[in-house]
Structure 1
Amino acid sequence: MEVEVAPNAAPLQGDKECDVVIIGAGIAGISTAYEIATEGARVLVIDRGKIAGGITARTTAHLAPLCDDLTSAMIGLRGEEISRLFYESQAAAIDRIEEIQNKEAIDCDFRRLDGYLFQALNTDSKIIEDELDAVRKVGAPVHRLVGVPFSHCEQQHVLRYPRQGTFHPLRYLKGLAAAVEAKAGTFHADTVVESIEERDDGKVVVSTAGGKVVARAAVVATNSPIVDRFALHTKMAPYRSYAMAFSIGKGAIPDALYWDTLDPYHYVRLQPGEGQTDHLIVGGGDHKSGEADDAEVRFQALEAWTRNLIPAVQEVTHRWSGQILDTIDYAGFIGKNPGSENIYVHTGDSGQGITHGVVGAMINSALIQGRGSNWAEVYAPSRKTPAAIVNFVKENITAVKNFAEYLAPGELSAVSDLKAGHGAIIRHGLSKIAAYRDSAGKLYARSAACTHIGCHLHWNSFETCWDCPCHGSHFAFDGTPLNAPAVSPLAAHEIEDKP
């Protein structure tokens, strides 16, 4: 059954005033609204689509407090103290989820679990040894074992992390949003933000097609920020990850979190089902957004990996993909937007969107209310990480390569070659056209330049949308923006559609 969060949220109509306006209604936005409303402030939440209908709805909900890119890697870039604070903050996020779902009586399948990092087949165990040493340095509980309950993995080296967690994220957010509304908070869905400005009096004005919101502070929690064009975007990169669910008999494997040491790695958990059947959720197959259009191949590989290691799985019940924003030093950007006085951001969740979202809510709500946070330095948007220069250069090469694509020929020589249900880039004179033909044969021709900073778009056949490899914008086949940082639609383009 589909879970609707704040189902009565209507588009914004008319001008409003509040204490804090939050743009983006995923885990970060709704959690921030809850923290602020709990302190008695008037809060208003805006989203361009459904409430909790974006990237948060695509999570696999591993509540794991250690660095997604390995603690050893984080220590190498940011040192032991910052890495310790990162672990502490992420663990506190799981504690906060547990506390809130108890306090608000939210039925969301929350439970504490062991997490298992296991040596991938045919790989060196040294990564386990290095990670064991790193995790002990940051003070996290860890136990070294041999074997996990998967086929062919009986002798693999393993680290067990106690007191991890998981839950059903949309059921949790449904209850959280209801608690915000009970505290006089309001939600507005299907409301596209056109601009965010700070006035001389310190107030923030958020303009939409339906009206303006004036607040003493704003939080931009739109997965990829719409308030900044370069400063933060150059320090993170979008990656697409794939997930699928299988039916599996109850008790077939122990209820826990599992992930391996490959790069990109696989991740596995259970979701309770009805009767004698659960769902096994498996993810992996990551690649940079827009740099591959081979979802079917990745799903086939993911299914083969799963059936090889967990032969008890039955039929595939769901398949989906989501976008991750990886920062160059593994922690998100949370806090005051560089150059702003009363605009705060939350972005760069680096594969840990749920715990990052709750950490961000605790940090930003504290800063807005004039309090400090022990974790603010870890996530400060203005931070510089000299040791991450190699990652910075690697991720920004994408943009350089991307702009060069405008000189290349189109994928098809003529629009007449475009089949129904397909999208492709077509050169038209000096321009590149993002063309899509629907199942009825209607042609949609739009500019192939992302409206954020003009990067060359790529077709995503699985999601039926246009992806921007530079900073993660997505556009519907008709040019409507679906995901930040782009806020404007793709320009329509006249092109003759000869039969």
Structure 2
Amino acid sequence: MTNLTNGASMPLWLDTASVPRFPPLTTDKQTDVCVIGAGIAGMTAAYLLAREGRQVLLIDAMGIGAGETGRTTAHFFPPDEWYAGVEEGFGEKGARQVAASFAGAIDLVEAIIRTENIDCGFERLDGYLYALPGDGFKDFDKEVAAAVRAGVDAEKLDKVPGLSFGTGSCVRYRNQAQFHPVKYLAGLAHAIVRLGGEIHGGTQALDVSGDPIMQTVRTQWSSIRAQAVVVATNTPFNNRMVMHTKQAAYRTYAVALRVPRGAVPRILLWDTGDPYYYVRLETPDAAAQHEYLIVGGADHKVGEDDHPEHRYDEIERWVRQRFPMAQQVEYRWSGEVMEPADGPAYLGRNPMDDDNVYIITGDSGNGMTHATIGAMVITDMLMGRDNPWAALYDPSRKVKHGLTDFMKEQADTLVRYADWARHGEAEFVEEIPPGEGRIMQMGSGKLAVYRDEQGGLHALDATCTHLGCVVHWNGGEKSWDCPCHGSRFGTDGQVLHGPAATPLLAVAVEQPGMPAPDAGRDQPPRPDAH
């Protein structure tokens, strides 16, 4: 049976939806299009292509919604850079394209839900951006002007209406949306199968190779020959270097608290603080007397907080200061977002590859929107149609806007290779508490050692199998996370999140309390190692 999620925490979405389970693919296959990834990007692409009459085969290492789609807050809202930032970097034309693509994504999701009769709580809502005194961005006149020029229905208000606390001035963006993401994926799965598509869980893609005529996707069980491949795995595992120098991986956190039904207005809310927070509501069912107030934020670079549980407490404290009607916490979870160097996602042909391999990555906190846009762009490409947004989201574009942040991210990644020169976090395994992991020095190599709740030891080579960084412990999700490019591994070494495609190497423990003396690597790999 495949995993239901890629971490120890249980998101509200995965706990309140039933998804169809599909068996692993154990025989070789040939198809028109192989889609890798059963999140919203891959499932939407598979659906649209199947609807066009293409033969589609979709695989996922775990199962439907088990990756980052099941760990989102599932809202459709303006881009993280806001329209003033997009206009500054890409001009008025670029801002209009972003606005049109964002609106088009919401319209498509709504149309699919109507056509396929998917019960997923889709709802059109107004969204609000606000800034408390002293917190961040305040030039809302500039933002409204840029949004209106881009064709967005936006206006400045004195405050966000209906809240229990004063927000000061804000921007209202009309006609945004939210839904239950896993219920949506379940509906897409049924539709894909009805349209003749094929889905397989528990099937990890290990590599993609081929030529402009035919690609081969190799899995742990079989091979798939396809005329085209869509890599929709949050970050592409098939791209060794190029894309991973153009985006950075962040962990983000969410808390769902009960509130009395009707106590909080049905809106989307985002502030400009540092850290920033974003808010939405979820209603369990029509008869429920309570709702879930979902608040996300407290982001940090992957691998930079070994014990991030305090971030849930920070979010809860923020909520209780502003929403006194909030009751008990029902869910706490975290997810991973990929931040592009210059703002827009990367959607289209994979750089430095054959023309028939496509990627969807760079969600930047707008995963539901960008994933849907990516599926639309790639479907048009595969069907030989022009797409008005393809150039804007082209993964091959050069970074021109946001160069300062881009260079800072690259420098931070290079610094992480200095972890090889640092001593381990524990000298003896007896220092590792049950349920915790530590990096241990062994000769010139490093081990990632986890002690389970029963006291058993699980030792792994601590070298990320992507580009050789030393992994860090994530106590919140019980995983080993790479601070360089965002790969994540389970305590058994299995890949939970790319770009790594190969598990961490398990290392034998020779005697109780001591790892084998020859464990680990003799020399650290170079940052450019393959």
Q: Which amino acid counterpart does residue 458 of structure 1 have in structure 2?
A: H
Aligned to 1:352: 366
Deviation at 1:393, TM superposition (A): 0.6
Deviation at 1:80, TM superposition (A): 2.1
Q: Using the alignment, how far apart are the partners of 2:279 and 2:346 within structure 1?
A: 27
Aligned to 2:438: 424
Q: Which amino acid counterpart does residue 273 of structure 1 have in structure 2?
A: P
Q: Using the alignment, how far apart are the partners of 2:20 and 2:140 within structure 1?
A: 43
Matches within 5 A, 1:45-444: 45-64=58-77, 66-123=78-135, 126-148=138-160, 149-153=162-166, 156-199=168-211, 202-274=213-285, 275-339=288-352, 340-444=354-458
Deviation track 1:293-325 (CA, whole Å, cap 9, x = no partner) reads: 342221111001101111111110000000000
Q: Percent identity?
A: 42
Q: Using the alignment, how far apart are the partners of 2:370 and 2:439 within structure 1?
A: 36
CA contact (8 A) 1:78 1:385 kept: no
Q: Which amino acid counterpart does residue 361 of structure 1 have in structure 2?
A: A
Deviates most, 159-168 or 485-494: 485-494
Deviation at 1:497, TM superposition (A): 4.8
1:16 aligns with 2:23: no
1:160 aligns to what SS in structure 2? strand
Deviation at 1:5, TM superposition (A): 2.7
2:58 aligns to what SS in structure 1? strand
Deviation at 1:73, TM superposition (A): 2.1
CA contact (8 A) 1:26 1:56 kept: yes
Deviation at 1:121, TM superposition (A): 4.5
1:379 aligns to what SS in structure 2? coil
Q: Using the alignment, how far apart are the partners of 2:61 and 2:18 within structure 1?
A: 16
Q: Using the alignment, how far apart are the partners of 2:205 and 2:185 within structure 1?
A: 22
Deviates most, 365-374 or 410-419: 410-419
RMSD: 1.4
* Equivalent in 466, 478, 482 of residue 496 of structure 2: 482
Q: Using the alignment, how far apart are the partners of 1:363 and 1:285 within structure 2?
A: 32
Q: Using the alignment, how far apart are the partners of 1:351 and 1:422 within structure 2?
A: 29
1:29 aligns with 2:32: no
Deviates most, 290-299 or 52-61: 290-299
User: Between Structure 1 and Structure 2, how many residues are aligned?
Assistant: 495
- What are the ranges of 5 or more consecutive residues in structure 1 without an aligned counterpart? none
Q: Using the alignment, how far apart are the partners of 1:206 and 1:153 within structure 2?
A: 54
CA contact (8 A) 1:119 1:128 kept: no
Deviation at 1:136, TM superposition (A): 2.3
CA contact (8 A) 1:34 1:176 kept: yes
Q: Using the alignment, how far apart are the partners of 1:260 and 1:293 within structure 2?
A: 27
CA contact (8 A) 1:425 1:458 kept: yes
Q: Using the alignment, how far apart are the partners of 2:360 and 2:136 within structure 1?
A: 36
Deviation at 1:495, TM superposition (A): 4.8
TM-score (structure 2 length as normaliser): 0.91
Deviation at 1:498, TM superposition (A): 4.4
Deviation at 1:37, TM superposition (A): 0.3
Q: Which amino acid counterpart does residue 348 of structure 2 have in structure 1?
A: G
CA contact (8 A) 1:74 1:329 kept: no
Deviation at 1:87, TM superposition (A): 1.5
Deviation track 1:131-186 (CA, whole Å, cap 9, x = no partner) reads: 223222322111111122333315x1111111001111111111111001000101
Q: Using the alignment, how far apart are the partners of 1:205 and 1:2 within structure 2?
A: 36
Q: Which amino acid counterpart does residue 159 of structure 1 have in structure 2?
A: V
Q: Using the alignment, how far apart are the partners of 1:486 and 1:131 within structure 2?
A: 39
Deviation at 1:488, TM superposition (A): 0.5
Q: Using the alignment, how far apart are the partners of 2:492 and 2:280 within structure 1?
A: 36
Q: Which amino acid counterpart does residue 182 of structure 2 have in structure 1?
A: L
Q: Which amino acid counterpart does residue 240 of structure 2 have in structure 1?
A: R
Q: Which amino acid counterpart does residue 98 of structure 2 have in structure 1?
A: F
CA contact (8 A) 2:136 2:273 kept: no
1:32 aligns to what SS in structure 2? helix
2:109 aligns to what SS in structure 1? helix
Aligned to 2:520: none
1:126 aligns to what SS in structure 2? coil
- What are the ranges of 5 or more consecutive residues in structure 2 without an aligned counterpart? 1-14, 514-530
Deviation at 1:491, TM superposition (A): 1.3
Q: Which amino acid counterpart does residue 215 of structure 1 have in structure 2?
A: A
Q: Which amino acid counterpart does residue 409 of structure 1 have in structure 2?
A: H
CA contact (8 A) 1:198 1:205 kept: yes
CA contact (8 A) 1:218 1:343 kept: yes
1:378 aligns to what SS in structure 2? coil
CA contact (8 A) 1:78 1:329 kept: no
2:507 aligns to what SS in structure 1? coil
1:317 aligns to what SS in structure 2? strand
Deviation at 1:61, TM superposition (A): 0.9
